[in-house]
Structure 1
């Protein structure tokens, strides 16, 4: 999901970015994040002027990574691709968050509005995934940027046919896929290895199966890809600037962006008293009907066995379902205001919800609907403070990565209620579970 908001913007655009385009007359064009691209290219593991690159580590690249999707979809694949590279002792080749690959088109169209065609990952996240050092106990090679890969490897790449590997696996579960690729790459000594163009390793079948991560979970969660995952300074600054909007404090807390980075769990601690709700709106209603049509279960990242689950109701057949079942799916996937309030009241009865007095609503819903929901929650839940994504004040660069800041908030909530079919919820759930938040604090509508 991409959130494009309409808040007051604090910063002036960079030179040239205030210009509109004939394609979007009158629209202010988004930032292009050039300083983040430049930072990535200056990483110390990039030996641009070396006479030979043979002494460098082995690399692994997935050119067919997902494009043109919301950040939640991209993030889940980035995490698994980086995890696989780590397991093979190869440097992960990280890439942009991409809507449009055409280098001549800096902007893409999203619902009639311009968005950046490519956002560097370092504008969204930090950690070993994007080239930061691994913890001292690890000896894995640091990740490299795609542009460096092309400079070093374009004329000597060994490509592996994805289908040739997967036809022997017989499963779309994460563990057998990872194990097969680790074995395949262990047998290849070439420095520059990529998956054949246009193919991803972990696809929609993997991410759509609630059991897909079960066997791999313990190792995945303990890997530095997760334990040393972090949100970018840009995202953390957005959180700091909106801290009192999101979850007002009663005592001084140092801004997150001033604290030296350590680990995921130590940095993103619980925000006591805060309930976070993730509510997809807009065209998601049609998506929920599609999920009901195919009797879909929760996504893999939301399907960890220690969490509550949704069992598709009986009565549906392949590609068809009953009116009663469509109504059940809608209640969980696209709940109305009354159903949201009822679910909040239900969760408030749990021991994990003791002391909740603030609510933050992650949503792309229309402002009027959000305000009505805030009023309903205030009256029904006894909350002192209710805010939403629509209340944030963001600068021009933060506006286009705001979904990542919402994920940071959800990750730190005392209690989080998400959408089990949403990959954005899934990223939050994985980080909460990996950071050992009690399972009763992570719920679904």
Structure 2
């Protein structure tokens, strides 16, 4: 007889409930860990892709917006005709390379040092060897300044023109034309090296005047037969930084400097003139013809530096001057020397209690009012100057102030009434190359003002005043805070 199949019998598992729960928990943890790892991997991949994408974008933006290197200007300087000669020493030509020129300072400081060094070369009958406007001499293309990227060096031909960088002197002047430093290196591989300390003993007093320094260097260089002379980079400057703030030392050289083609033929670069022309409507009318009275010898030419009637230019420093002015007060600083000609109005007298790191409260207020004027201070001064000089109807403000502060100043000036145009440096529309020579653009505008109100403690103001005085503009048109 066939047996019926047995029904399956449910047997109790030998595993305890606790062990089963543990296994289930482990399985769940394993699955969770896998999900976490998978998610983390995906997140890491996304982060990597995002970071890589941002880096690529930043690189593209950097390449698109990085400062220019002015290659065409460098090439043009190296191609000067005086560099193309079979005998660079023909006719007794001699050269002077001032390798310890200013670097790491602003354009105003650089320009005054450049002019004085070039005058030494001119007075000694040597070709002046020029270099770039230099922020950093480490051969880098770019440098950081105020959290921004700037060119480490800018060729002078993007800033100025004239004999300082190879332009012609006046007819009949046999002084050899200036040459580029790269050309000097080529023709003078082993120049005579002179240190400033070697020349100083011949100057006499401990603090010689600029005229005495110029005369001593001229005589010293004329006594060197070697056509190739270099002032050592590691020596002190020919004209110390402090001499530009000492009227009694610097101004004795003015009769020589003001008559020299080094200064008289100094002009601004085409790049700077182009920026001026493009922005002129901001600060002056643009008539089809501008009245001028050039010297007879230049009758066919148009004077690009004739003052613009009705234009008042202000130089208002902010930024670093917010601390710098207080520093000047504590050390009893005076106006820059070229801001201190006897014929100029608004003269400065250093308070008796300023100096040696200390200054009284009233004297500090005086320094700040004249070095870092507030908007009400500026408005009051402009009103006084407009009352003293007829015809002012346009105002341009050279400033490094932030846009919001500059806009507030413009509004305050417009509120005084009677002005056609009020603009500041922040309003200029500049192309990529003009942006990094904007100080030169400001200086050209200041040079062409009917009246200038400058900062007496600033080298940029003093360079403008120097140029205006060299052109024999009325001294009373140079005013100061």
Partner of 2:131: 95
For residues 305 and 269 of structure 1, do their structure 2 counterparts lie closer, same or farther at Cα, with a shift above 3 Å needed?
same
In the comparison of the two structures, how many residue pairs are matched? 416
Distance in 2 between residues matched to 1:36 and 1:252, nearest whole Å: 31
Q: Which runs of 5+ in 1 are unaligned?
A: 1-17, 255-259
When normalised by structure 2's length, the TM-score is 0.82
Shift of 1:210: 2.4
Write out per-residue CA displacement over residues 262-314 of structure 1, whole angstroms, 9 at most, x where no aligned residue. Answer: 99994300100000000010121100011001111011221222213211112
Given candidates 161, 167, 171, the residue that maps to 2:201 is: 167
Write out per-residue CA displacement over residues 87-120 of structure 1, whole angstroms, 9 at most, x where no aligned residue. Answer: 11100001100111122x2000011111001100
**Alignment of structure 1 residues 121-136 onto 2, 5 Å:** 121-136=156-171
Distance in 1 between residues matched to 2:116 and 2:186, nearest whole Å: 25
Contact 1:21 1:29 in 2 (8 A): no
Shift of 1:174: 1.1
Partner of 1:61: 97
For residues 160 and 435 of structure 1, do their structure 2 counterparts lie closer, same or farther at Cα, with a shift above 3 Å needed?
same
| Structure of greater Rg | 2
Shift of 1:378: 1.2
Shift of 1:250: 4.6
Asked whether 1:154 is paired with 2:189, we answer yes
Shift of 1:65: 0.4
Partner of 2:379: 341
Contact 1:96 1:118 in 2 (8 A): yes
Shift of 1:443: 0.7
More helix by share: 2
When normalised by structure 1's length, the TM-score is 0.89
Asked whether 1:106 is paired with 2:134, we answer no
Distance in 2 between residues matched to 1:21 and 1:151, nearest whole Å: 37
Q: 131-140 or 435-444, which moves further after superposition? A: 131-140
For residues 354 and 197 of structure 1, do their structure 2 counterparts lie closer, same or farther at Cα, with a shift above 3 Å needed?
same
RMSD: 2.3
Distance in 1 between residues matched to 2:244 and 2:444, nearest whole Å: 21
Distance in 2 between residues matched to 1:368 and 1:172, nearest whole Å: 45
Distance in 2 between residues matched to 1:106 and 1:53, nearest whole Å: 30
Distance in 1 between residues matched to 2:199 and 2:125, nearest whole Å: 19
Shift of 1:150: 0.8
Distance in 2 between residues matched to 1:331 and 1:264, nearest whole Å: 42
Asked whether 1:180 is paired with 2:219, we answer no
Q: Which has the higher contact order (CA 8 A, sep 6+)?
A: 1
**Alignment of structure 1 residues 22-421 onto 2, 5 Å:** 28-47=65-84, 50=86, 52-55=87-90, 57-103=93-139, 105-155=140-190, 157-169=191-203, 170=205, 171-199=207-235, 200-253=237-290, 266-308=303-345, 309-350=347-388, 353-421=389-457
For residues 339 and 127 of structure 1, do their structure 2 counterparts lie closer, same or farther at Cα, with a shift above 3 Å needed?
same
